Amino acid sequence: MRLNDSNLEFSISDIVRHFRSPYSAWATWANLQQPGTVYVENDMIQHSSLLKRSEENEADAKRFLINRFDKVKTISNPLNSLEESKKLMQEKVDVIVQPTLKRDQFTGRADFIILNKDVNMYEVMDAKLAKQVKPEFLLQVCGYTWMLEKFNEGIPESGYFFLGDERSESFKINEYYRFFIDLKDEFLDTVENYSLDVHPKPRKWEVFEEFNDAAEIFWKENSSLELIADVSSRQIQVLEKEGVNSIIEVPEVTEKSFPKLATESLDKIKRQASAQLQSTDDKTHIELLNGDESIHFLHKLLPDESKGDVYFDLEGFPFYDFRKSDTLEYLYGAAYKDEKGDLIFKGDLWAEDEFEEKIIFSKFINWMQERISKYPDLKIYHYAHYEITSLRNSAKKHALYEDIVEDWIVTGRFVDLYTVVRKCFLIGKDSYSLKRVEEVAGFKRELDLKSGFDSIFYFERYLDSRDPKIKEEILTYNKDDCFATEVVCNWLRNFKKVYP
């Protein structure tokens, strides 16, 4: 979406954005009309970690087509791309790479259009990093097909995708085309009635992209139901259908009003909302989840401190090789207490490629085995399931230490603090993530998370620049996670004294 001499011009991506999030489509328009109306996460726009991978996938798709067609032409002059695209289409070139298409208010650049000589029509192929076709992909290809309709003098039978695992997939245009046309018309009607004063409500199930923070700001300012920790999209819809539109109203609802919500689910939502409403910036409401049962789980799941305990946090990069489903586990962070009782961060297990990844995995296992020999009762504390899942995957990937990793898991060497929290406590926060629970436990980070730090994004930047300052920030972020895990662990242990 852009303004050209006060006139709005669109792309097919604007329709897709409206489909995924009416709020973010409006926000895009609002910032064109009055810059700064809606807060934007600029880093996400300027430094997308997927951009380079997308370009690589498009290059692979081009090679795929070159091997199958005689004439494959790429637009040579971006300043005259529309006219050049028309000329190549009139010449019936087999494949045109990145042609510019225009119809009505819409201008766009398709990845590829391919001439089907049997019907004398151009068909659209889009290159996508994903390994499965998504609804928005279908809309994108239908959109470019619509833009080609006048030239083609009709609608071709098929559209195509070149996916991230190098597969080519087709689909029947007519199965989705009517939906696209209706969505396009709805989008244009909606834009016609946009206002800076009134806008669509951001919903939990939408994809906001760079407007994610703006949506969260709106929810907080309006006490939206989306603020309730773990509330599902369906539960929000059921509550709103019965006239409940704010977290403030939730604790007062009665079971009879919500026959479509199970009693247990409604009670859980009410208790969570009440806990959050009772919380302030200075004090968070905490209560046992299920009385004596929670006390039982607290003592069963959380061991007392043992000499040699390790607080473990992994950092992974899922986009290192987009052809594979593997994640590059590039940092094995750990914290432990030295002989003086001071918490030490071990941040030397760092990898920048798969060869180094195998080395640091092996070093971590051996380091842990040495500690276990010295401290047989030690536990490895972590928060949520990622660490265990990753170690299992790495052992299989590298064909190393599978028996050792499995032995650690089976014998209870790992302690998942997230499981302890969820089985034992109701906490008045909008999330049960480590970043929220550590606040309740009193942990203060060295790296300010308000800066929008994202380890995946930062590691991508590091690979591009090899800037040691970026590496240091990632290490600091990981150290904070490890130290926070230790603080949360001790905070939970204190409850064992409160509830003996």
pLDDT digits (tens, 9 = 90+) for 415-467: 999 999 999 999 999 999 999 999 999 999 998 765 555 788 889 889 888 99
DSSP secondary structure letter of residue 200:
P
DSSP secondary structure letter of residue 461:
H
Report the phi/psi class of residue 278: left, alpha or beta, with left for phi > 0 and alpha for psi in -120 to 50: alpha
Q: Percent of the chain beyond pLDDT 90?
A: 86
User: The sheet that has 95-97: what strands, in order across it?
Assistant: 72-74, 95-97, 112-116, 121-127, 158-162, 168-172
Measured between alpha carbons, how far is residue 175 from residues 43, 139, 156, 179 in Å?
38, 11, 12, 8
Tell me the mean pLDDT in the region 210-227. Answer: 95
**Given a cut of 90, is residue 44 above it in pLDDT?**
no
**Given a cut of 90, is residue 218 above it in pLDDT?**
yes
Please give the angle made by the CA atoms of 288, 292 and 297, to the nearest 5 degrees.
80
State the Cα–Cα distance between residues 100 and 96, nearest whole angstrom.
10
Residues facing 115 on adjacent strands = 122
Q: How many CB atoms lie within 10 A of CB 208?
A: 19
State the Cα–Cα distance between residues 11 and 26, nearest whole angstrom.
15
Residue 52 has a pLDDT of 76
pLDDT band at 46 (very low <50, low <70, confident <90, very high): very low
**Given a cut of 50, is residue 483 above it in pLDDT?**
yes
What DSSP line would sit under 292-340, residue for residue? HHHHHHHHHHSPPP-TT-EEEEEEEETTSSTTSS--EEEEEEEEEE-TT
Tell me the mean pLDDT in the region 315-337. Answer: 90
> How confident is the model over 246-268, as pLDDT tens digits?
999 999 988 777 777 788 889 99
Q: How many CB atoms lie within 10 A of CB 47?
A: 14
**Given a cut of 70, is residue 275 above it in pLDDT?**
yes
pLDDT band at 48 (very low <50, low <70, confident <90, very high): low
Residue 450 has a pLDDT of 56
**Given a cut of 70, is residue 102 above it in pLDDT?**
yes
- Count of residues making up the chain: 500
Tell me the mean pLDDT in the region 154-173. Answer: 96
Task: Give all strands (DSSP E) within 147-247, no chain letters.
Answer: 158-162, 168-172
- Quick check: 75 and 97 in contact, CB under 8 A? yes
State the Cα–Cα distance between residues 99 and 82, nearest whole angstrom.
7
- Collapse the DSSP code of 3 into the 3-class scheme (helix H, G, I; strand E, B; otherwise coil) and give the result: strand
CA-closest candidate to residue 19, choices 110, 134, 169, 126: 134
pLDDT band at 50 (very low <50, low <70, confident <90, very high): low
Please give the model's pTM, rounded to 2 decimal places.
0.88
CA-closest candidate to residue 365, choices 402, 337, 415: 402
The mean of the pLDDT values for the chain is 94
Residue 449 has a pLDDT of 60
